Structure formats: structure tokens, C-alpha cells
Amino acid sequence: MNILLDENMPYAHQLFGRLGAVRSLPGRRINSAALGQTDALMVRSVTPVTASLLANSAIRFVGSATAGTDHVDEAWLEQAGIGFSAAPGCNALAVVEYVISALLSLGQRDDFLLKDRTVGIIGVGNVGSRLNQRLSALGVRTLLCDPLRADRGDEGDFADLATLVREADVLTFHTPLTDQGAYRTRHLVDEALLACLPDNAILINACRGPVVDNAALLRVLQTGKPLSVVLDVWEPEPDLCLPLLSRVSLATPHIAGYSLEGKARGTTQVYDAFSRFIGVNDPVALDSLLPPPAVASVAIRGELDESMLRQLVHLVYDVRRDDGMLRRAAAAAGEFDRLRRDYPVRREWSSLRVETDNAASAALLAELGFNAGLAPSR
Ligand SMILES: NC(=O)C1=CN([C@@H]2O[C@H](COP(=O)(O)OP(=O)(O)OC[C@H]3O[C@@H](n4cnc5c(N)ncnc54)[C@H](O)[C@@H]3O)[C@@H](O)[C@H]2O)C=CC1
Ligand SMILES: O=C(O)C(=O)[C@H](O)COP(=O)(O)O
């Protein structure tokens, strides 16, 4: 069995090596000539998986260690009889932690409390629903927009996008990138929507670059309209529009989902799916792979306020580090992908043990996903 891997998949050599001969390549260099006699291909989001890649290949299975699947022609794979699995939800918590870090950072910069803001979440799937749960635990008012779920009759209070634009202080987008049908998301944020945003609104895109019309966004920012913009994803990638970069509040190189846990879960989910596909029963426990975190525990006292929460959140992950990294490197060719390839180890909140002497704080921290414990006060 010959297996070709995207090089940006932690633990993949170790795991897929149990099933066959493995080699890896940068995702953007995986093309039909590179496939040779490969039987199974494991990609991330930068490799378009289409008929032109696979039509004359021996590939029987494709895994994508990502939540998004807009790079994969799933209909073609199905009619070609090629197995496929993505990794739904693998990095949802990482994106949530990215968004909350961004909001707490902007709150510190602009002197507002998150709990006084209304956050509109567009796309209430794996990321959006977890973001809603954590923000609600923090007492933040949220408004939810997911017309597919609303039309399906899912439980929940769903509003339309126009309501969120009117009523929310923050709009954060967590939809797939789609081009067809009533729910298409390409350029969901266009010039008309941007014009309707109230002054001082916060716009976050951590899903796919083209969900926001980047040229329209630049034009609006150039007029001096006061907006705070957080962009993790760009239109197009890996090319960066430097004038846009210079006008956004936080800019990162498509790493919102790049916690070690998130990337490792992506690998294990496609490993489990491929194992099942070839009839091997060898499930992998994520915890058996992960190293201990650099910062393992911390003790706090008293009631948790937003400033203390910000410090805890940023002890684990601070989006401003990645913003600085991108701004320092952005002008040079190839840096967007290099920053992603050499991304430093980043852990999720669950990796931090927080001991507190306050029962309410312990309960809140546990609800937020920290490894919280109540310690007797001394
Ligand atoms: N920046 C990053 O590193 C990451 C980006 N992503 C992107 O974020 C997207 C969302 O991730 P998940 O929540 O895991 O996906 P998901 O598939 O669990 O949820 C997506 C939700 O968006 C909804 N939706 C679809 N069209 C919509 C529309 N027109 N308006 C409002 N809602 C709509 C769907 O009904 C679904 O509930 C992924 O498709 C991927 O493209 C995901 C993970 C990491
Ligand atoms: O899972 C997704 O969807 C993502 O956007 C990934 O976090 C992106 O990572 P790469 O596939 O570009 O390494």
C-alpha cells in the first residue's frame, strides 16, 4: 500500500506508517505527476482534489484532515468509486479560541468588555455552535444566522443576516465556501452588506477568504469607515493584498484552526476513516499522541473577571503573536505558506489546569473548556 501525505499533518508518518509505505510532499506540490503508484492520498485544504488530479491515478481513497471541503470535488470522487473522508469538527475549538482571543484583544485595545457586546454568528455548525456555547457561558448576547438549519427546522433561535447586521456589534463568519444554490456564501459579505455595517462594528472572517469580497472590503476601509476587521483567511491565498493587510486590526495566515490538538485530530480522524475503509480496526486515542503542554497549570484566586480571563486565555494562545508574525513576514514571497508550515506548537484551553479557590469561577472555567479544579483557599 503506497500512501502520499501532505507534509503538514502531525503524527501522520507515525500512524499511516502502520498501514503501508508513506511519503509526504508540500500540499501545493501534490499534482498528478507526483502521484505515481499511490493508492491513498491524505491532503489538507491547499490541494484541489478533482478529476484532473486523480482521473488517471490508482488512488482508491482520499482523506482531507480539514473541516472545510471546498477543495474537494466530492461528487466526482463518488462517481469514480473513490472513498473519501474529511475531518468534520476536528479544529472547531481552535477556531473558537482564536475568535475569543481576537475579541478579548480588541476589547483591551478599544476599552470595551466582551460581555457588553452582541455577537452575531453566521454559520452555526461545529465552530459556530461551540462559539455560541462559550460566549453564552461568558454572559455575551449572541444572535445566530444559519438559514440551512433554520429551514431544516433545527431547534434554536435563528435570525436572518440582515437582522445580525443591524443588531450585532460583532459579525463572525463560520460558513463553508459554496458557489451554488440559495445558500451560496461566496461574497456573502459584499459591498452592500459592508455599507450597512454600523460604525465601529467588528467583522471576523475565519472560514474561507472568498466569503468576504476582499476588494470591496479594501474599498470600504479606504473610505475611512470605522470598522475593526479580523482576517485569518484571504482572497486569494497564499497571495496577500498588502494594502488590505495594513488596514485590518488583526491579520493571520489561515491558522485559526492550527492548535496541535486540532491538527492532530484531523490526522487521527482521516486515519480512522482510512483504516475502516481497508478493514483495519485500529482506532487511535488523541491523548496517546500529544506531548505535555509547555504551561501545564496555574492557580488563581477570587472571582473570575474579564481581565483575569483574558490573561488565562492568552497564557494558552494569543492571536496577537500570529498577527505580529504575519506582518513582519508578509512582504516576502512564500512567507504565508512558510508561516503555516513552521507554525509553533499551540495548545487548546483544555491543556491548562486552572486551580481556583472560587466555586463559581471553577464552574465557569470548566464550562469554557479549561481543565479547572476547585482548590481549598489557604
Ligand atoms: N480558518 C481555519 O483555520 C478554519 C476554517 N474553517 C472553515 O470554517 C467553515 C465552518 O467550519 P465548521 O463549523 O467546522 O463547519 P460545519 O459544516 O460544521 O458548519 C458550517 C455551518 O454553516 C452553515 N451554513 C452554510 N451556508 C450558510 C449560509 N449561507 N449562511 C449561514 N450559514 C450557512 C451550515 O448550515 C452549517 O451549520 C469550514 O467549512 C471551513 O471552510 C474550519 C476550520 C478551520
Ligand atoms: O480545516 C479547515 O477547513 C481549515 O481551514 C484548516 O485549518 C486549514 O488548514 P490547511 O489545510 O490549510 O493546512
- Residue-wise pLDDT for 218-250, tens only, equals 999 999 999 999 999 999 999 999 999 999 999
CATH for 91-251, options being 3.40.50.150, 3.40.640.10, 3.40.50.720, 3.90.1150.10: 3.40.50.720
Distance between Cα 93 and ligand 2 center (Å)? 13
Of the listed ligands, the closest to the CA of 151 is: 1
pLDDT beyond 70 at 377: no
How far apart CA 143 and CA 121 sit, in angstroms, is 6
Q: Is 347 a catalytic residue?
A: no
C-alpha cell at 353: 489546569
Q: 53 CA to middle of ligand 1, Å?
A: 25
Alpha carbons 250 and 230: distance in angstroms, whole number:
5
- SS3 of the chain: CEEEEECCCCCHHHHHCCCCEEEEECHHHCCHHHHCCCCEEEECCCCCECHHHHCCCCCCEEEECCCCCCCECHHHHHHCCCEEECCCCCCHHHHHHHHHHHHHHHHHHHCCCHHHCEEEEECCCHHHHHHHHHHHHCCCEEEEECHHHHHHCCCCCECCHHHHHHHCCEEEECCCCCCCCCCCCCCCECHHHHHHCCCCEEEEECCCHHHECHHHHHHHHHCCCCEEEEECCCCCCCCCCHHHHHHCCEECCCCCCCCHHHHHHHHHHHHHHHHHHCCCCCCCCHHHCCCCCCCCEEEECCCCCHHHHHHHHHHHCCHHHHHHHHHHHCCCCCHHHHHHHCCCCCCCHHHCEEEECCHHHHHHHHHCCCEEEECCCC
| CA-closest candidate to residue 157, choices 121, 106, 109 | 121
Give yes or no for residue 77 having a pLDDT over 70: yes
Neighbours of 329 (CB within 10 A): 15
Cα separation of 148 and 16, whole Å?
A: 36
Percentage of the chain beyond pLDDT 90 is 98
Could you report the per-residue pLDDT of 152-177, keeping only the tens digit for each? 999 999 999 999 999 999 999 999 99
Is residue 145 a contact partner of residue 164, using CB atoms and an 8 Å limit?
yes
Residues whose CB falls within 8 Å of the CB of residue 260, separated by 6 or more in sequence, listed in order: 10, 290, 345, 346, 347, 348
Q: What is the pLDDT of residue 376?
A: 76
- Whether the full predicted model's pTM is greater than 0.90, yes or no, is yes
How is domain 2-86+259-288 classified at the CATH fold level? Answer: Rossmann fold (3.40.50)
* Chain segment 313-356, per-residue pLDDT in tens: 999 999 999 999 999 999 899 999 999 999 999 999 999 999 99
User: Does ligand 2 have an atom closer than 6 angstroms to the CB of 91?
Assistant: yes
Neighbouring CB atoms inside 10 A of 155's CB total 6
- Decide: 64 in ligand 1 pocket, CB within 6 A: no
Whether 47 shows a pLDDT value over 80: the answer reads: yes
Render pLDDT for 16-44 as a digit per residue (tens, 0 to 9): 999 999 999 999 999 999 999 999 999 99
If you average pLDDT over residues 96-114, what whole number do you get?
A: 98
Cα distance between residue 113 and residue 92, in whole Å: 24
Report the distance separating Cα 49 and Cα 70, nearest Å: 9
Please give the pLDDT value at position 354. 98
Cα of 188 to ligand 1 centre, how many Å?
Answer: 13
CATH 3.40.50.720 residue spans of the chain: 2-86+259-288, 91-251
Q: How many CB atoms lie within 10 A of CB 216?
A: 17
- Classify domain 297-374 by CATH architecture: 2-Layer Sandwich (3.30)
Q: Is residue 174 lining ligand 1, measured as CB closer than 6 Å?
A: yes
List, by residue range, all CATH 3.30.1370.170 domains of the chain: 297-374
- CA separation (Å) from 40 to 33, 36, 71, 175, 279? 15, 11, 17, 28, 14
Q: pLDDT digit string (tens) for 251-266?
A: 999 999 999 999 999 9
Which residue matches cell numbers 478579548? 104
From 8, 64, 127, 319, the mutation candidate for ligand 1 (largest count of ligand atoms within 8 A of CB) is: 127
Q: Is 208 a catalytic residue?
A: yes
User: Distance between CA atoms of 213 and 115, rounded to whole angstroms?
Assistant: 29
252 assigned ligand-binding residue: no
Residue 378: predicted pLDDT: 61
Share of the chain above pLDDT 70, in %: 99
Q: What is the mean pLDDT of the chain?
A: 97
